[in-house]
Every structure is written in C-alpha cells, then in structure tokens.
Structure 1
Amino acid sequence: MLIDTHCHLDFPDFAEDLPAYVARAEAAGVGRMVTISTRVARFADYAGIAERFPSVWCSVGTHPHQAHEELDVTAGQLVALSRHPRCVAIGEAGLDYHYDSSPRDAQARGLRTHIAAARETGLPLVIHAREADDDMAAILREEMGKGAFSAILHCFTAGEALAMTGVDLGLYISFSGILTFKTSENLRRIARMVPRERLLVETDAPYLAPVPFRGKRNEPSYVVETAKVLAETTGVGFDEVARITTENARRCYWKMDHAAPLAQRA
C-alpha cells in the first residue's frame, strides 16, 4: 500500500468525477489520501470529502498565498476544527517567496499560528516552503525551541541545508512528482541523504504530475510513479519503499489509525 500524503481533491479539476479518481487511486494500491486545506473558511468542504470516502482524510489550515486573508484565524480555532474525526493535520501553512501572493510578514505570522496549533494538538503541520529556505529554517528552529511539534516539509524542492535542518528537527520530508523530472538530479541527491524513517511521498494533485504523465492533470494514483523513482534513487525495492513511506505516513498522520470507521459514526 501507498499513502498520498498531500493532494487537493477539493479543486475544480476533480469536481466532475471525484469518485472515479478515488477509485483509480485505490485500484493502484494507494490506500489512503490526505486532501489538504488551503483556506480555513472552506474547512467544511475538505471535511465533507473525507466523510464521503473512507480512504480520504483532511487537514485544516491556510496556505501562505492566502495568509493575509485569514490573519484573524487563531490557533484556538485551528485546534477546535482539527477535532473533526477526519482531520489528521494542521496546514498547509508556510512561506512562499516565489509568488509573494501574501505579504511576507503575514505569511510568517500565519505560519507561527499554525505551529502553535500543531504543538497543542500533536497533529503534524504541513509546511509549504518555496524560495524561503533561510527564513523557514530560522522560524522552525526558533519555534522548536519553544516546544516540540511534528511537521512535514511537503513537496520538497528546497536546498540541502533546509532538508538537513528538517531532519535535525525530526521533521518528515515529502517528495512529489518533481523527483521524477530529468532536471531533478540534485533533488534525488538530497533524497538519498534523508533517513528512511523520514521519507514520504505525495502528488500535490492536481499539480506536478510525475513522469510519464508530466504535463497532464495529476491525480493520487500517480503517486506510484514517484515511489518507483524514490526506490531507484535510494537503491531499495519498490515494495520496500512502499512499506517505509506507508509506515512513516501512518506514524506522522497517527490520527488515521485512532479514528473510528465512518460506518460507526451515524
């Protein structure tokens, strides 16, 4: 089994036939998917999808692109919403200096709010980091000094220094379809440096489809292709990579294994 640790099943790309996408993922051996929040105001949508499909879970949080729109969201509100039985993570939150869609101070403020919620709940924080390595590393080190929390550096494309900072702090490093691109040799080099107990795979669907589907709409079933390349990159078999990343995902998203089945919640 594989777990797609990060996708966006609420996006319009999947609206036409979401059950078919979920079914294809399950048929491909992707037993669990986590659909990730980008706006707290839309949490009911994410939770609703997770309630429809036993293999789908969700998170609660504000993407850095929307950080300035939800600065009034408190850690307490995140904690309260995360009590939903299908919510297994906080985020995604972080820093994106590539697009700078939100002021950088708003992004940092939002990130710290999400860290506080992750610390209080024990749920992992899903971190978005793009072209902000130094500031991200500084915030993570400072906040970890205030009290430990679990986190994932999702869709990792940053440099070696941030990867090793994450490893030093006990974070998980998640690789997407970008790992399969011909131009991603440095990323594959970094993947070889990450301890196996910290490796995760994801799609970030509908974006970043892996080879051989590059350029097409991404979907959770395609995480198999990323896992294949991670296996080649790390020099272990595909079945072993599937076992390792699934065990890591279950340990990280621990709430999955502690929630009652959907059928028991009427």
Structure 2
Amino acid sequence: MFVDSHCHINFPELAQNLDEVLSKMRQNQVGHALVVSVNMDDWPGLMELVRPHPHLFASVGVHPDYPDVLEPSVQDLLDRAVDPKVVAIGETGLDYFRLQEPLDWQRERFRIHIRASRQSGLPLIIHTRSASKDTLDIMAQEHAEHAGGVMHCFTESWDVAQAAMAMNFYISFSGIVTFKSASDLQEVARKVPLERLLIETDSPYLAPVPYRGKLNHPALVVHVAEKIAELKGLSVKEVEEASTENFFNLFSKIKR
C-alpha cells in the first residue's frame, strides 16, 4: 500500500471529481491520503470532505504564502487539533519567493504553529521556499525538535535536509524529483535514509513524469515512489513499505 502524505484534494480542481479521485487511488493501491490545510476559512470544508472517508485525514494551519487571511492563535489551532481526523499542524513555514519584506507576520505565524504543534503533540508540516536559513533558525529557536514533523515537497540542499533530520523531521519528495531539471534534488533523494523519507503529490500541482503539466492527484504518488526506487537502486516495494511505515510512525494519531 502506498500513501500520499500531502495533497489538497479539497481544492476545486479535485473536489468536484472526488469519486473519481478516490477510485484512482484504489486502482493504484494508494491506501491513505493526508489532506493539508492552507487557511482557516476553508478548513471547515476540508473537514467536511475528509470526515466520511476512513482513509482520508486532515491537518489544520495556514500556509505562509497567504498574506491577508485570518491569523490563528495557538489556542485556535489547539481547539481544532483535538478532532480525531486532525493528525498534524500546518502547513506552515516561510516562503520568500513571491512576497517582499517586511514579513514579520509570516515569521510570527510560523512560530505560533510550532508552539501549537509542541502543545498538541501533533507533528508539523513545514513548507519552505527561498527561506531555508530563517526556517531552520526559527525551528531551532522554537524547539521544533520536540514536535517533529516533515519538510514537505522538499527542494532544498543536502545540508538543509541534514539539519532538518537532526531536528526530528522527515524529508518528503513530490513529483519534482521526477523532473529532468531536478538533478540536484535527485542527489539529495539518493542520500536521505529510507527511514526518514516520505512521498507525496502536493496535488493538484506538480504532477510527476510522465504526467508533468497535467492535473495531479493522489494516485500518481506511485510514480514518485518509482523514481525514488530508481535513484536508490531499490525495488519499488521497498520504497512503498518504508514510506508507508514512516507515514504511520510520524502521523501516529492514525490507526493502522
């Protein structure tokens, strides 16, 4: 059984065809998916989507790339984290790619999520783009190692991966690792120990080769596993079993 550790099937592109999305998951033996929150306003709808399905789970949090949205307090996140379907805090982190300073609001939002993760006992889902130094610095300052979690859709260097793993974080690879242009990332994937590795789609975005440029969905996580297996010289079965085991170890609120 494969697992998609990070997707957004509540986004309209996929939610409007949810039955088909779930059918394709079954066909490709993708047994579970974590549907990740990006803002508080859409969170109730996300929960409505996952609640009827025993193999779908949710997080709660606000993506760093959303500047003008409702800012949750630590207590807001804690109140929602008690729901049996909520297994993680995030996605959170820093993203300096599109936004310009001052970004103090983004850094404070990240700190709030780390504090909520530590207090709730739920792992963090971290997004970082063009902000790796500040991301790692804040993780260290807020003792994110006591929460643990995952660096999702990883595109950073081996040094950043090592620093994150030293703070009790997993490294998750998306369809980007299948791209011909991603040779540096592929080298990182070769080095990340199998016991610290997760796979994801980040759908509806970043469809893996051979579907690059098309609508992504959780069933295509199989192609990420295939690429990781190729890079590491392993069987797809080995990557499947390890990444699934890691998923349940990290998101331990999910019953196997």
Q: CA deviation at 1:23?
A: 1.5
Which whole-Å CA distance do the structure 2 matches of 1:57 and 1:42 have between them?
A: 15
Bigger shift: 217-226 or 76-85?
A: 76-85
For the 8 Å contact 1:155–1:174, the answer to whether it is kept is yes
Q: CA deviation at 1:235?
A: 1.6
1:149 is aligned, of 147, 153, 173, to 147
Per-residue deviation, residues 148-168 of structure 1 (Å, max 9, x unmatched): 111110000012221111111
For the 8 Å contact 1:34–1:56, the answer to whether it is kept is yes
Q: What is residue 19 of structure 1 aligned with on the other side? A: 19
Correspondence list, 1:45-60, <5 A: 45-60=45-60
Q: What is residue 7 of structure 1 aligned with on the other side? A: 7
Per-residue deviation, residues 56-108 of structure 1 (Å, max 9, x unmatched): 1111000012254233x111110110111111110001111111179521111
The total of aligned residue pairs comes to 256
Per-residue deviation, residues 220-246 of structure 1 (Å, max 9, x unmatched): 000000000001111211001000000
Which whole-Å CA distance do the structure 1 matches of 2:101 and 2:89 have between them?
A: 19
2:175 is aligned, of 174, 177, 180, to 177
Bigger shift: 31-40 or 158-167?
A: 158-167
Which whole-Å CA distance do the structure 2 matches of 1:78 and 1:69 have between them?
A: 15
The answer to whether residue 66 in structure 2 is matched with residue 66 in structure 1 is yes
Q: CA deviation at 1:43?
A: 1.6
The answer to whether residue 192 in structure 2 is matched with residue 186 in structure 1 is no
Q: What is residue 122 of structure 1 aligned with on the other side? A: 121
Distance 1:60 1:124, change over 3 A: same
1:225 is aligned, of 205, 223, 226, to 223
Which whole-Å CA distance do the structure 1 matches of 2:101 and 2:79 have between them?
A: 25
Amino acid in the other structure paired with 2:208: P
Question: Could you say what secondary structure the match of 1:65 adopts?
Answer: coil
Which whole-Å CA distance do the structure 2 matches of 1:22 and 1:100 have between them?
A: 35
Poorly superposed stretches of 4+, deviation over 4 Å: none
Q: CA deviation at 1:52?
A: 2.3
Which whole-Å CA distance do the structure 2 matches of 1:9 and 1:249 have between them?
A: 18
Q: CA deviation at 1:207?
A: 0.2
Question: Could you say what secondary structure the match of 1:93 adopts?
Answer: strand
For the 8 Å contact 1:133–1:159, the answer to whether it is kept is no
Amino acid in the other structure paired with 1:40: M
Q: What is residue 132 of structure 2 aligned with on the other side? A: 133
Amino acid in the other structure paired with 1:176: S
Q: What is residue 264 of structure 1 aligned with on the other side? A: none
Q: If the length of structure 1 is used for normalisation, what is the TM-score?
A: 0.92
Q: CA deviation at 1:16?
A: 2.4
Q: What is residue 43 of structure 2 aligned with on the other side? A: 43
Q: If the length of structure 2 is used for normalisation, what is the TM-score?
A: 0.96
Which whole-Å CA distance do the structure 2 matches of 1:193 and 1:207 have between them?
A: 25
Per-residue deviation, residues 82-136 of structure 1 (Å, max 9, x unmatched): 1111111100011111111795211111111000111011111110100111111
Amino acid in the other structure paired with 2:26: E
Q: What is residue 238 of structure 2 aligned with on the other side? A: 240
Q: What is residue 262 of structure 1 aligned with on the other side? A: none
Question: Could you say what secondary structure the match of 2:214 adopts?
Answer: coil
Q: What is residue 87 of structure 1 aligned with on the other side? A: 86
- Aligned-residue sequence identity (percent) comes to 39
Which whole-Å CA distance do the structure 1 matches of 2:214 and 2:101 have between them?
A: 28
Which whole-Å CA distance do the structure 2 matches of 1:210 and 1:20 have between them?
A: 19
Per-residue deviation, residues 183-207 of structure 1 (Å, max 9, x unmatched): 1111011112212111000000000
Q: What is residue 159 of structure 2 aligned with on the other side? A: 161
